[in-house]
């Protein structure tokens, strides 16, 4: 990304149109990533609640897609899942 020069920045060093962090992909940090067994999932939403990186999305009160480009591979989702619907797998390089 091209960095802005000083004249292009908003006054007061504020950040407008937040959130802007999704432009930064933290998914590169991970060595493992969740593999989601949709057929086992009961949609209790615990993984959504506890995923620190807002990777797990919910649509109509059901688990939807995993935004893996942000996943840091912590494994909290797999650990919290009461029915083992999430499994951590090594990331293939």
Partner 1 sequence: MKLKNLKKLALTGNEAAAYAMKQINPDVVAAYPITPSTEIVQIFSKYVADGEVDTEFVPVESEHSAMSVCIGASAAGARVMTATASQGLALMHEMLYIASSLRLPIVMVVGNRALSAPINIHADHSDAMGSRDSGWMQMFCENPNEVYHTVIMAVKIAEKANLPCMVEMDGFITTHEMEMVETLDDKEVQEFVKKRIPLYSVLNVEEPITIGALDLFDYYFEHKRGQVEAVFKAKKIISEVVKEYNTKFGFNFPDFVEEYETEDAEICVVAMSSAAGTLKEAIDLKRESGIKIGLIRIKTFRPFPYEILRERLRKFKAVGVMDRAETMSTLGGPLSIEIKASLYPLDKKPVIQNFIFGLGGREFSLEDAFHVIEIIENIKKGKKYDDVLYIGIRE
Partner 2 sequence: MKKNFISLKELSERNIGLAPGHRACAGCPFPSIVRMVLSASDNPVVVANATGCLEVTSTIFPYSAWPVPWIHSAFENVAATIAGIETAFRVFKKRGIIPENKKINFIAFGGDGATYDIGLQALSGAIERGHNFLYILYDNQAYMNTGIQRSSATPFGANTTTSPAGKVIPGKLQDRKDITEIIAAHGTPYVAQASPSHFYDFISKIRKAFEIKGPKFIAVLSPCVPGWGYRENESIEIAKLAVETCFWPLYEIEHGVYKLTYKPAKKLPVRIWLEKQERFKHLINREELITEIQKKVDEKWERLLNLDGKKIF
Residues that bind partner 2 (CB under 8 A): 4, 13, 15, 18-26, 29-30, 44-46, 48-55, 58, 61, 67, 70, 72-76, 78-80, 88
Among 41, 45, 53, 91, binds ligand SF4 (CB under 6 A): 53
CB-CB contact of 78 with 35 (8 Å): no
Token pair belonging to 85: 């619907």
Give min distance, CB of 33 to ligand SF4, in A: 6
Strands 56-59 and 62-66: antiparallel
Residue given tokens 């009961």 in the structure block? 42
Please choose, out of 6-14, 15-23, 37-45, 69-77, the segment that lies near ligand SF4 by the rule CB under 6 A.
69-77
Q: Could you tell me if residue 5 is left (phi over 0), alpha (psi between -120 and 50 degrees) or otherwise beta?
A: beta
Name the one residue in this structure whose structure tokens are 């029915």.
83
Contact partner at residue 34 from ligand SF4, partner 2, partner 1, none, CB < 5 to 8 Å by partner kind:
ligand SF4
CB-wise, 7 or 61, nearer to partner 2? Answer: 61
């Amino acid at each position: 990304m091209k960095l802005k020069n000083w004249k292009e920045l908003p006054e007061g060093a504020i950040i407008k149109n937040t959130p802007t962090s999704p432009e930064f992909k933290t998914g590169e940090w991970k060595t493992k990533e969740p593999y989601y067994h949709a057929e086992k999932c009961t949609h209790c939403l615990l993984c959504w609640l506890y995923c620190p990186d807002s990777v797990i999305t919910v649509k109509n009160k059901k688990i939807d897609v995993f935004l893996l480009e942000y996943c840091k591979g912590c494994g909290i989702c797999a650990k919290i899942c009461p029915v083992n619907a999430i499994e951590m797998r090594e990331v293939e390089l």
